Structure 1
Amino acid sequence: MLLFCPTCGRLVTLEEGFKQFKFVCDACNFKMPVSGEIRSRLYPKLKNVDDILGGVNVWANAQQTTERCPKCSHERAYFFQIQTRSADEPMTIFYRCANIECGNRWKE
Structure 2
Amino acid sequence: MMFCPECKSMLKSYDGKLRCPKCGYEKELDSTDKSHLQKVNHIQEKDIIIVDGDKEKNVTLPTIEIKCPECGYELAEWWLRQLRSADESEVRFFRCVKCGKTWREYD
Q: TM-score, normalised by structure 1?
A: 0.44
TM-score by length of 2: 0.45
Larger helix proportion of the pair: 2
Bigger CA radius of gyration: 1
